[in-house]
Chains A and B, each alone.
Chain A
């Protein structure tokens, strides 16, 4: 079974520039998450999709961050314009979701995109 794919692996940009990250979840997984992980901290949930609908985006800085999940499969996260404090690893995760089963809430993570804003 293929895992969660993310690209790019690394990205270096200057402040005020734009950047986009891409995520391809595990096939059939209904729920997709974007987390931001600042060095030395735990992952912070930015946005959660159930199929192509947003379940939670309460911690997404909507003045600069946007995310979409096309056709309930792939997702992109965009930052425009970037700030120095956006330097972090951006993790995408997916879970089966749905009803019943042992692992519906288990999250499968990609390797992340490390963003450096200079």
Chain B
């Protein structure tokens, strides 16, 4: 079974706009990660946030984590056509597994 569920399933925006994706999960976690997957390629790690952190930034990416609501959001600011990809959240319950959600498909129109 999948731990994380992303919302929305698909998102289409104009270049320059911000994109926000959400992830909800079911059990307590050690950390939450976001990955990007371009079509036909492997996944690339974007950012990791630990359970004792509330917000983290990396370039144009901003991730928040609310452990009381068991949810996280990924914000991509000033999106570019090259940001077109699928985005997955991955959670690590206390233990060793890393479990992925179903993903959000982002399409950025030039």
On A, residues with C-beta under 8 Å from B are 4, 31, 33, 35, 41-45, 48, 50, 55-56, 91, 93, 95, 103, 105-112, 114
Expressed in whole angstroms, the Cα–Cα distance for A55 and B35 within the complex equals 23
Chain A positions within 8 Å of B31 at CB level: 105
Query: Beta-carbon contacts of B11-48 to A below 8 Å, as 1s and 0s?
Result: 00000000000000000001101010000111111001
Query: Beta-carbon contacts of B85-98 to A below 8 Å, as 1s and 0s?
Result: 00010101000111
A55-B42 contact, Cβ under 8 Å, with A42-B2, A42-B88, A106-B33: no
Expressed in whole angstroms, the Cα–Cα distance for A93 and B97 within the complex equals 12
Are the CB atoms of B43 and A43 closer together than 8 Å? yes
On B, residues with C-beta under 8 Å from A are 2, 30-31, 33, 35, 40-45, 48, 88, 90, 92, 96-103
Name the distance in Å between A12's Cβ and chain B's nearest Cβ.
16
A43-B96 contact, Cβ under 8 Å, with A105-B31, A111-B42: no
Are the CB atoms of A105 and B98 closer together than 8 Å? yes
A33-B98 contact, Cβ under 8 Å, with A42-B103, A109-B43: yes
Are the CB atoms of A105 and B92 closer together than 8 Å? yes
Name the distance in Å between A99's Cβ and chain B's nearest Cβ.
13
Across chains A and B, the number of contacting residue pairs, with CB separation under 8 Å, is 59
Could you say which of A50, A105, A108 contacts B48, with CB atoms under 8 Å apart? Answer: A105
Are the CB atoms of A56 and B100 closer together than 8 Å? no
Could you say which of A41, A95, A105, A111 contacts B41, with CB atoms under 8 Å apart? Answer: A111
Name the distance in Å between A67's Cβ and chain B's nearest Cβ.
16
A55-B99 contact, Cβ under 8 Å, with A105-B33, A110-B42: no
Nearest neighbor of B31 in chain A, beta-carbon distance: A105
A-B CB contact pairs (8 Å), 29 listed: A4-B42, A31-B96, A35-B100, A41-B102, A41-B103, A42-B88, A42-B101, A42-B103, A43-B88, A44-B100, A45-B97, A55-B97, A91-B42, A91-B43, A93-B42, A93-B43, A103-B48, A105-B30, A105-B33, A105-B48, A105-B92, A105-B98, A106-B48, A107-B33, A107-B43, A107-B98, A109-B42, A111-B42, A112-B41
